[in-house]
Amino acid sequence: MSRSAHPAGPRYADVLPEGHYSAPPADLNQLDQGVWARTVARTPEGAVTVGGLDVQQLAEEFGTPAYFLDEADFRARCRAWRDAFGADADVFYAGKAFLCRAVVRWLHEEGLNLDVCSLGELTTALAAGMPAERIAMHGNNKSSEEIHRAVEEGVGRIVLDSFQEIARVAHAAAALGKRQRVQIRVTVGVEAHTHEFIATAHEDQKFGLALAGGAGGAGGAGGAAGGPAAEAVRRVLQLDSLELVGIHSHIGSQIFDTSGFEVAAHRVVGLLRQVRDEHGVELPEIDLGGGLGIAYTPDDDPSEPQEIAKALRDIVTRECEGAGLTVPRLSVEPGRAIVGPTAFTLYEVGTVKPLDGLRTYVSVDGGMSDNIRTALYDAEYTVALASRASTAGPMLSRVVGKHCESGDIVVRDAFLPADLAPGDLLAVPATGAYCRSMANNYNHALRPPVVAVRDGAARVILRRETEEDLLRLDVG
Ligand SMILES: *Cc1c(COP(=O)(O)O)cnc(C)c1O
């Protein structure tokens, strides 16, 4: 048996990557407006407030760690997307970013539709009164139960992701005596990440059906004669219990420009044209998915919904005119771009450990159980001392959690005031998306609450887990 030991400790671990953090900001107390929820501010005494409420009082009332969500900001973002796309398009909020019944009600009131991708999300949506016809069901491996329930409830569309699923949904709809509206999810050979996208010949991922393949070859417009997507269209059109309403494409996440969507729309319209030529039908809908980026740090510069809507509409119109097609109804599915910027996580500092010549490790009372994105994706966040202002100089810090794992990092590189001390409150902005929804019980951590704040009032919309909750699942 062979064993190897790795030298442990920060001196042997990662060396500071070049350019991973920028110079300290001129004013550590300043809150960058692009990164924080709209109603976040500092009082003259120095404490951070949201919706007019001081984080010190919020921490006292709701404890830490906790997510505080700016309801006015959430609703404003819903309206901005809704207004930007207008009456001839649909905005589906991607529920996986963050979903609870209060959020469903806000979406309903603000006129948005909702994407779900599991029975749990569907149940939450229906329990909060979202009309089934405004729900779309996603997922690459929907169970028979999920499919049956979605069809039975009458969801507005099911997005088909495989040949097996075409048969399963057709079967469920037939058994229930229904005709189910469906879209086919295609992979267009575009992968977008943050500031760049890659157009690939092969769609090496689990989602969707490839446009490319067969006689048409990869990549070109309409070059899908023999591709799986074209074959899926053929099969769906033959099934009486399915109504094919459109083609769906989702190219990635945290995207900052529309060039990836341009390639995707070009290729999707190529398929629409082929469908018309082959079957004599013009499909009425095109869904370009979500993935629009937000500002996690002041370096990120996302576009406004107005600009995105105009760009996507122009692209689709141009492509369809070029192909001699009537412009289909457009839909988009922002998740992160709506909820991401609206919340911050509030933590209490437990320990401050300076490592000479390196940085200071600041331990907070949460970690990878409430925000796994740093560990999972090397995501970047910023952080601010929230319970008070400080005139101390900058201290290069790493904000870490309390879990038994050295990768338990919340903010890899941050400048915090050098007088930081146990008991101070830290706030990490832009944690509204994929933080609570990906939260876990590692080390039997209790998942934090989500507190909605609006006009000087705060209310829990998702309560903190308790030890009782943990023990209830453990049947002994
Ligand atoms: C995840 C997902 C979205 C939302 O992505 P965001 O990056 O949160 O905008 C939209 N559509 C589909 C199909 C998804 O899987």
Does a structural domain hold residue 1?
Answer: no
Mark whether 375 and 237 lie in a shared domain.
no
Mark whether 61 and 93 lie in a shared domain.
no
pLDDT tens by residue, 437-464: 999 999 999 999 999 999 999 999 999 9
> Is the minimum distance from the CB of 337 to ligand 1 under 6 angstroms?
yes
Q: Report how far Cα 271 is from the mean position of its chain's Cα atoms.
A: 28
If residue 145 lies in a helix (H) or strand (E), which one and from where to where?
Answer: helix 144-153
Nearest to 444 by CA among 472, 409, 411: 472
Phi, psi at residue 398, to the nearest 5°? -130, 125
Of the candidate ranges 54-63, 169-178, 224-233, the one whose mean pLDDT is the lowest: 224-233
Q: What is the pLDDT of residue 21?
A: 58
Distance 97 CA to ligand 1 centre (A): 8
Does a structural domain hold residue 34?
Answer: no
DSSP letter assigned to residue 444: G
Does a structural domain hold residue 28?
Answer: no
- Average pLDDT estimate for 333-350: 98
Reduced to 3 states, what is the DSSP secondary structure of residue 73? helix
Mark whether 384 and 469 lie in a shared domain.
yes
Mark whether 138 and 242 lie in a shared domain.
yes
Locate 408 and state its tokens: 């338990």
Does a structural domain hold residue 8?
Answer: no
Mark whether 45 and 104 lie in a shared domain.
no
> Is the minimum distance from the CB of 333 to ligand 1 under 6 angstroms?
yes
> Is the minimum distance from the CB of 252 to ligand 1 under 6 angstroms?
no
Looking at the predicted structure, is the pLDDT value of residue 43 above 80?
yes
Domain holding 392, by residue range, is 41-70+341-473
Mark whether 289 and 371 lie in a shared domain.
no
| 224 half-sphere exposure, CB direction, 13 A CA radius | 32
Mark whether 411 and 423 lie in a shared domain.
yes
Phi, psi at residue 127, to the nearest 5°? -65, -30
Looking at the predicted structure, is the pLDDT value of residue 210 above 50?
yes
- Average pLDDT estimate for 79-84: 98
From 337, 361, 392, the end of a domain falls on: 337
Q: Which residues pair with 135 in a beta bridge?
A: 114
Q: Would you list the DSSP string of 267-330?
A: HHHHHHHHHHHHHS----EEE----B---SSTT--PPPHHHHHHHHHHHHHHHHHHHT-PPPEE
Q: What is the mean pLDDT of the chain?
A: 92
State how far the Cα of 325 lies from the Cα of 329, in Å rounded to an integer.
12
Looking at the predicted structure, is the pLDDT value of residue 336 above 90?
yes
Split into its structural domains, the chain has a count of 2
State how far the Cα of 414 lies from the Cα of 381, in Å rounded to an integer.
8
Distance 422 CA to ligand 1 centre (A): 38
Which residue's CA lies nearest to atom 10 of ligand 1? 290
Mark whether 305 and 240 lie in a shared domain.
yes
Locate 252 and state its tokens: 């990635």
Does a structural domain hold residue 327?
Answer: yes
> What is the pLDDT confidence band of residue 227, given thresholds at 50, 70 and 90?
very high
Looking at the predicted structure, is the pLDDT value of residue 183 above 80?
yes
C-beta of residue 222 within 8 angstroms of C-beta of residue 273: yes
C-beta of residue 433 within 8 angstroms of C-beta of residue 409: no
Q: For residues 413 and 191, which has the higher predicted lDDT (pLDDT)?
A: 413
Distance 336 CA to ligand 1 centre (A): 8
Instruction: Give the gyration radius of the chain's Cα atoms.
Output: 24
Looking at the predicted structure, is the pLDDT value of residue 379 above 70?
yes
> What is the pLDDT confidence band of residue 360, given thresholds at 50, 70 and 90?
very high
> Is the minimum distance from the CB of 334 to ligand 1 under 6 angstroms?
yes
State how far the Cα of 269 lies from the Cα of 323, in Å rounded to an integer.
8
State how far the Cα of 468 lies from the Cα of 470, in Å rounded to an integer.
5
pLDDT tens by residue, 265-293: 999 999 999 999 999 999 999 999 999 99
From 337, 367, 385, the end of a domain falls on: 337
> Is the minimum distance from the CB of 302 to ligand 1 under 6 angstroms?
no
Q: What is the pLDDT of residue 81?
A: 98
Instruction: Give the position, in ligand 1's atom list, of the atom nearest the Cα of 252.
Output: 7
Q: What is the pLDDT of residue 378?
A: 92
> Is the minimum distance from the CB of 291 to ligand 1 under 6 angstroms?
yes
Instruction: Give the position, in ligand 1's atom list, of the atom nearest the Cα of 336.
Output: 8
If residue 332 lies in a helix (H) or strand (E), which one and from where to where?
Answer: strand 329-332
Reduced to 3 states, what is the DSSP secondary structure of residue 345? strand
Check which CATH number belongs to the domain holding 455 and give it. 2.40.37.10
Q: What is the pLDDT of residue 93?
A: 98
Mark whether 215 and 357 lie in a shared domain.
no
pLDDT tens by residue, 395-450: 999 999 999 999 999 999 999 999 999 999 999 999 999 999 999 999 999 999 99
pLDDT tens by residue, 88-128: 999 999 999 999 999 999 999 999 999 999 999 999 999 99
Q: What is the pLDDT of residue 191?
A: 77
Distance 94 CA to ligand 1 centre (A): 6
Nearest to 71 by CA among 347, 385, 463, 460: 460
Check which CATH number belongs to the domain holding 178 and give it. 3.20.20.10
State how far the Cα of 78 lies from the Cα of 91, in Å rounded to an integer.
9
Mark whether 360 and 290 lie in a shared domain.
no
Does a structural domain hold residue 350?
Answer: yes
Q: Among 247, 294, 333, 342, which residue has the most ligand 1 atoms within 8 Å of its CB, making it the best to mutate?
A: 333
Per the document, the length of the chain is 476
Helix/strand/coil percent split, the chain, to 5: 30, 25, 45
Locate 308 and state its tokens: 């995105």
From 316, 337, 358, the end of a domain falls on: 337
Q: What is the pLDDT of residue 204?
A: 79
Q: What is the pLDDT of residue 195?
A: 59
Q: Would you list the DSSP string of 168-208?
A: HHHHHHHHTT--EEEEEEEE-SEEEETTEEEE-SS--SSSS
Locate 284 and state its tokens: 């009425």
Looking at the predicted structure, is the pLDDT value of residue 14 above 60?
no
Locate 374 and state its tokens: 């740093």
* Catalytic residue annotation: 404
> What is the pLDDT confidence band of residue 219, given thresholds at 50, 70 and 90?
very low
Looking at the predicted structure, is the pLDDT value of residue 221 above 80?
no
Q: What is the pLDDT of residue 225?
A: 62
State how far the Cα of 68 lies from the Cα of 430, in Å rounded to an integer.
11
Dihedral sign for Cα atoms in the order 47, 51, 52, 56: negative
Mark whether 438 and 303 lie in a shared domain.
no
Beta-carbon contacts of 221 under 8 Å, excluding residues fewer than 6 positions away, are 266, 267, 269, 270, 273
Does a structural domain hold residue 220?
Answer: yes
Q: What is the pLDDT of residue 16?
A: 45
Does a structural domain hold residue 18?
Answer: no
Nearest to 246 by CA among 289, 203, 206, 214: 289
Mark whether 53 and 92 lie in a shared domain.
no
